[in-house]
Chain A
Amino acid sequence: MITDVEKALIKECLVFAGEEGASDARITLTKSTEDQIATLDGQVDKVTRCADRTVNIALFVDGSFGSFSSNRLERESLRRFIRGAVQTVKMLAPDSFRKLPERERCCVSAVSGKEMNIYDPAYNGIDAPARRRAALDAAVSGKPLEGLPQGVKLVSEEGEYSDSEYDVYVVDSQGLECRHTETSFDYGVEVTIEDPSGDKYSDYWWTSSPLLSDFDASACGKTAILRACAQIGARPEESGKYNMVVAANVASRLVSPLLNALNAYSLQQGNSFLVGSLGRQVFSGNMTLLDEPWRKGETGSKLFDSEGVATKEGPIISGGIVMRYSVNTYMSGKTGFQPTVEEATRPRLCPFPSEATDQSGLMQMLGRGILVTDFNGGNCNPATGDFSYGISGQYFENGKPLRPVSEMLITGNFISLWKNFLGAGSDYRRCATKLIGSLAFGEVDFSG
């Protein structure tokens, strides 16, 4: 955790910057510790201890701007570092839009860093034996495995338990001072199975929680194995248009490109398929995406962004209408857009058609189609929204999975995809920072 001595040093860096010729500065100290216990086939395979610290320094000098960082926190070393940084900024072209955010936009409520209740003091009580137990208890190798089909064997299980503490402290020369602290308890596992014909299938599962009392990794190994088993014998379906359900664990893959396209950096460069979309109905009227960064005790909650600007709750897209771009101070100056937080903090897609909708309900609703349980590569053209992704999953009829599908591609355009949005589940994973439940779309091009 950041100490009072370190906080004083960071404030002193503001003084150093001023003395060296900076008109304004923002200094951010980040510290973290993490312990990882990795297992291979139920045995401890790797033990790792991480301790990191970084000072990020944003300098505004004679109308120019530069960004610097160092992990050497000795006072004299930092002073020399800032001196060199100021000299570098002086060599850059002036940019009148570079400035600190207005004071009234900045966060004043993040004082202790623990306001979001995602720091668990129990972290400090975990010792090395407890970590080993957590990792070994979560592993399934060598234990009775339910649900493994006849003749299928577990070839490999790689698990990793980790716990971490993250602390960030930000000050600027206009008086900003805020702090965010969180803990995280995580487990992830990858398994490889082999079927009787010698074909291999791999899959994964993971969980995470900021609070130890909410952390439960017991189902991860079994889930990963069942996901791998579900792919046995997978092959492509015939190419064509299908209804598509996307499982909640990978659904954010289809939301992230929208958020990127709504970022002012992309919009200002014309490298966005959502240029000119603010206030317009672009997507299905059934689609509402909210930003909910103030949910106490929940992963991803935060009171301020990297500029120290206070986060806000509210709609990003409402009824298919774009309500908000993500615009930081610099981009606000360049584009004339109202400044906001620099990016969506904790986006949540509202369930549709009902709060009770889940993956199974969406499959029932569509009747026939392809359930996507994993993506394999692919990309999106940020300028046009055209995309193509590899997928695997299940072909379903009458709402029930019939046979596994792999080596297929979905291809389309993000605007038309989300115009064909048919539903979203409330089955999003609480451990994710983007709360996106299972998704349903109509008329998607599949190639196989």
Chain B
Amino acid sequence: MNNNSDIFGLSLAQLRAIVSEGIKGGDWCDLYFEQTIYNDLLLRDGTVASGGFHLDYGCGVRVLSGEKTGYAYSESTDFQSLIDAARAAGAIAGKSGTLKLETPPATPPPPYGMQLHWDDADKKQLASWLEKLEAAIRSRDSRPSKIIALLSWSVSNILMYNSLDQLSSDTRPLASVTVTAIFKQGDATEQRNVSRSFRCGREMLSDELIDTLAGEAVKDLDDSFAARRPKGGQMSVVMAAGASGILLHEAMGHAFEADFNRKGQSVFCDRIGQRICKQGINIIDDGTVPFNRGALLYDDEGTPSQKTYMVRDGVLTSYLHDRISAAWYGVAPTGNGRRESFRYNPIPRMRCTYMESGADGTLQDLISEVQKGVYVDKFANGEVKIGEGDFTFYVNRGYLIENGRLTMPVKDINIIGNGPRALADIVAVAGDLKIDDGTWTCGKEQSVAVSCGIPSVLINNLTVGGE
């Protein structure tokens, strides 16, 4: 059997018996075993004096009867506990299925791994890396009053088995460095949050990463202190390459998730095959970007990960599917069935969502086209109302654009728009795609790690908050 089966202590025959019990209540049954050890070290007030680790262990049993779901989990993986969980999940009832045997699909090599395993980490060395990071920020600017730096890492050992007799396993690392720095200038206070997150080992803790994070923490700080609220209203918005991909996540990605469409809730339901934005625009959800926070070898129902074109040349070509929605639509799953942990059933979720580079020149070209608008390049959070398609995202930092030039720095503004209209209002896409490697987390019912990216784009008619 596969290597992670040792962790959970069950034989293939026992897995078959558990699934056979569950499938009595439906036509599909799968098991999701998980052992995650999460670690953290926190630097505060110049010292790493706080840390810990957290163990989470268990197995979720899902039974499907058509589109209906029965779900139960156990924090013990002894055989009888899982038989009980399978019976509880099977309470969804319906027609009774049988265990089938199918050849599992070919799986590509994992898009991540650990050159230096976290289990071998010397925590004093990790603490000293955080101290170097703090020193690097202070060496670049004299104004930090407080710096908090959090290093967190987890390694999840996953084993999946289903009623097609398919067995798959994965070891998923996820490591993040998050810095919150408070800068004081006279009576004024400025807060900066910078982060990086990857599916990799300790090799991520390089001097280069320290330079990157420290540089970002103090970048254009004078402008941030000088920044003001703009006059609010509808205007053109140039979104910088990288983190502006939150636009795709909120305004389009959620509305492309197939569960919302299957239930008739999404503003994009029944629009497959239709043009939804200008020719040349390609929007992708990709689980195969190497070491990316949203990368997966398999999704959480055992489907190999893939690169999924949602929009190709301006036409809506695919929703994001889990097994339930794929069966409902009669298409293959796209590897988007994800879950927060064994405590949750999988649902369609994004991975790394981005737009391919366009052919409309450079960022500067886009800015020069705008008479009055804003340029935005640093974001916090976003949200969407699926039915209406209304989305918002919060801008930490940007600049006014006046007569084709960046002028007054702006900050702390929310931007609101409507997904289908915003897509149609993308009038220019630069050729500078960038994936943002910050600690993006999507909170649709459950929290999962995602990422996003975009080239610089010019969008007309978004509403900018202001005075």
Interface string of A31-50 (1 = CB under 8 A from B): 00000000010011111111
Contact A95 B416 (CB under 8 A): no
Q: Is A64 in the interface zone, CB < 8 Å from B?
A: yes
Chain A contacts of B89 at CB under 8 A?
Answer: 47, 49
Q: How distant is the Cα of A406 from the Cα of B55 in the complex, in angstroms?
A: 44
Q: How distant is the Cα of A448 from the Cα of B380 in the complex, in angstroms?
A: 21
Q: Is A422 in the interface zone, CB < 8 Å from B?
A: no
On whether A158 and B263 interact (CB within 8 A), knowing A46-B68, A390-B414, A411-B229, the answer reads yes
SS of B interface (majority) = strand
Contact A447 B464 (CB under 8 A): yes
Q: Is B393 in the interface zone, CB < 8 Å from A?
A: yes
Contact B463 A376 (CB under 8 A): no
Contact B390 A46 (CB under 8 A): no
Contact B127 A52 (CB under 8 A): no
Q: How distant is the Cα of A75 from the Cα of B146 in the complex, in angstroms?
A: 42
Q: How distant is the Cα of A193 from the Cα of B71 in the complex, in angstroms?
A: 29
Contact A378 B49 (CB under 8 A): no
Of B8-16, B182-190, B214-222, which binds chain A?
A: B182-190
Contact A49 B463 (CB under 8 A): no
* Nearest chain B residue, comparing its CB with the CB of A231: B388
Contact A48 B54 (CB under 8 A): no
Instruction: Give the number of A-B contacts (CB < 8 Å).
Output: 236
Q: Is B112 in the interface zone, CB < 8 Å from A?
A: no
Chain B contacts of A411 at CB under 8 A?
Answer: 229, 232, 413-414, 465-467
Q: Is A201 in the interface zone, CB < 8 Å from B?
A: yes
Contact B390 A376 (CB under 8 A): yes
Q: How distant is the Cα of A372 from the Cα of B385 in the complex, in angstroms?
A: 16
Interface string of A138-161 (1 = CB under 8 A from B): 000000000000000001101000
* Nearest chain A residue, comparing its CB with the CB of B126: A91
Contact B412 A72 (CB under 8 A): no
Contact B51 A88 (CB under 8 A): yes
Interface residue ranges of A375-413 to B (CB < 8 Å): 376-379, 381-384, 386-390, 392, 406-411
Of B72-80, B197-205, B291-299, B427-435, which binds chain A?
A: B72-80
Q: Contacting B267 at CB < 8 Å: which of A200, A271, A409?
A: A200
* Nearest chain A residue, comparing its CB with the CB of B55: A70
Contact B52 A88 (CB under 8 A): yes
Contact B124 A91 (CB under 8 A): yes
Chain B contacts of A91 at CB under 8 A?
Answer: 123-124, 127
* Nearest chain B residue, comparing its CB with the CB of A334: B45
Chain A contacts of B394 at CB under 8 A?
Answer: 377-379, 388
Contact B88 A49 (CB under 8 A): yes
Chain B contacts of A49 at CB under 8 A?
Answer: 71-73, 85, 88-89
Chain B contacts of A445 at CB under 8 A?
Answer: 232, 465-467
Interface residue ranges of A263-300 to B (CB < 8 Å): 269-271
On whether A407 and B416 interact (CB within 8 A), knowing A48-B72, A156-B263, the answer reads yes
Chain B contacts of A81 at CB under 8 A?
Answer: 55
Q: B111 → chain A, closest Cβ, in Å?
A: 29
Q: B392 → chain A, closest Cβ, in Å?
A: 3
Q: B412 → chain A, closest Cβ, in Å?
A: 4
Contact B124 A202 (CB under 8 A): no
Contact A51 B75 (CB under 8 A): yes
Chain A contacts of B124 at CB under 8 A?
Answer: 91
Q: Is B104 in the interface zone, CB < 8 Å from A?
A: no
Contact B123 A67 (CB under 8 A): no
Interface residue ranges of B369-417 to A (CB < 8 Å): 380-388, 390-394, 411-417
Q: Contacting B91 at CB < 8 Å: which of A47, A72, A270?
A: A47
Q: How distant is the Cα of A378 from the Cα of B383 in the complex, in angstroms?
A: 8
Q: How distant is the Cα of A53 from the Cα of B74 in the complex, in angstroms?
A: 10
* Nearest chain A residue, comparing its CB with the CB of B416: A390
Interface residue ranges of B30-71 to A (CB < 8 Å): 41, 44-45, 47-58, 67-71
Interface residue ranges of B403-461 to A (CB < 8 Å): 411-418
Chain A contacts of B234 at CB under 8 A?
Answer: 448
Q: Is B362 in the interface zone, CB < 8 Å from A?
A: no
Chain A contacts of B55 at CB under 8 A?
Answer: 69-72, 81
Q: How distant is the Cα of A85 from the Cα of B37 in the complex, in angstroms?
A: 13
Q: How distant is the Cα of A45 from the Cα of B54 in the complex, in angstroms?
A: 33
Q: How distant is the Cα of A385 from the Cα of B163 in the complex, in angstroms?
A: 53
Contact A390 B145 (CB under 8 A): no
Q: Is A111 in the interface zone, CB < 8 Å from B?
A: no
Chain A contacts of B51 at CB under 8 A?
Answer: 66-67, 88-89, 92
Q: Is A302 in the interface zone, CB < 8 Å from B?
A: no
Question: Number of A residues contacting the other chain (C-beta, 8 Å)?
Answer: 73
Chain A contacts of B189 at CB under 8 A?
Answer: 270, 383-384
Q: Is B265 in the interface zone, CB < 8 Å from A?
A: yes
Contact A53 B75 (CB under 8 A): yes
On whether A95 and B49 interact (CB within 8 A), knowing A47-B71, A49-B71, the answer reads yes
Q: How distant is the Cα of A359 from the Cα of B299 in the complex, in angstroms?
A: 47
Contact A192 B233 (CB under 8 A): no
Q: Is A306 in the interface zone, CB < 8 Å from B?
A: no
Q: How distant is the Cα of A64 from the Cα of B42 in the complex, in angstroms?
A: 13
Q: A337 → chain B, closest Cβ, in Å?
A: 16
On whether A270 and B145 interact (CB within 8 A), knowing A85-B53, A156-B265, A388-B413, the answer reads yes
Q: A87 → chain B, closest Cβ, in Å?
A: 9
Interface centre among B264, B391, B417 (most CB of A within 10 A): B264
Contact A46 B74 (CB under 8 A): no
Q: How distant is the Cα of A43 from the Cα of B68 in the complex, in angstroms?
A: 9
Chain B contacts of A334 at CB under 8 A?
Answer: 45
Q: How distant is the Cα of A65 from the Cα of B148 in the complex, in angstroms?
A: 17
Chain A contacts of B467 at CB under 8 A?
Answer: 411, 445
Can you list 18 A-B contacts (CB < 8 A)?
A: A48-B70, A50-B343, A53-B75, A65-B50, A71-B58, A72-B75, A92-B49, A93-B48, A155-B263, A192-B263, A192-B264, A192-B265, A271-B180, A376-B390, A384-B412, A390-B414, A408-B463, A447-B463
Q: Could you list which residues of chain B lie within 8 angstroms of chain A, going by C-beta atoms?
A: 41, 44-45, 47-58, 67-75, 85, 88-89, 91-92, 123-124, 127, 145-146, 148, 180, 182, 184, 189-191, 229, 232-234, 250, 263-265, 267, 343, 345, 380-388, 390-394, 411-418, 463-467
Known: A71-B57, A128-B91, A386-B412. 20 other contacts (CB 8 A): A45-B68, A47-B92, A48-B71, A49-B71, A68-B53, A68-B54, A72-B75, A84-B53, A192-B386, A193-B387, A200-B265, A377-B250, A377-B384, A377-B416, A383-B182, A383-B191, A384-B191, A406-B388, A409-B232, A411-B229
Q: Could you list which residues of chain A lie within 8 angstroms of chain B, going by C-beta atoms?
A: 40, 43-53, 64-72, 81, 84-85, 88-89, 91-95, 98, 128, 155-156, 158, 192-193, 199-202, 228, 231, 236, 239, 269-271, 334, 376-379, 381-384, 386-390, 392, 406-411, 445, 447-448
